Amino acid sequence: MVAANESSIKEMIERAKVEAGEEDCMICLEELKVGFEASRLPCSHVFHGDCMEKWLKQSHYCPICRFEMPTD
């Protein structure tokens, strides 16, 4: 697997408040609590910030839709 590059992670990942309807982090499978801060990919999928960071250091694809982040 190829990691996303550091600059794309910093530039393309948006911090966002979890809204109703975004129930679970599909990386760790734990609940995303409404109102808490999470990370949103450009494809609009939301994950815990730490989960997303670890994931993108291993893979440059969104774990849900396979949106492709830039690589080195």
pLDDT digits (tens, 9 = 90+) for 22-58: 789 999 999 999 999 999 999 999 999 999 999 999 9
Closest by CA to 50, choosing from 28, 20, 72, is 28
Inter-residue contact 42 to 16 (CB < 8 Å)? no
Which region holds residue 31: left if phi is over 0, alpha if psi is between -120 and 50, else beta? beta
Q: Which residues pair with 39 in a beta bridge?
A: 15, 47
Q: What's the CATH number for 6-56?
A: 3.30.40.10
Q: Give pTM, 2 decimals.
A: 0.85
Reading the block at residue 9, the tokens are: 């992670």
Domain spans in the chain, listed from the N-terminal domain onward: 6-56
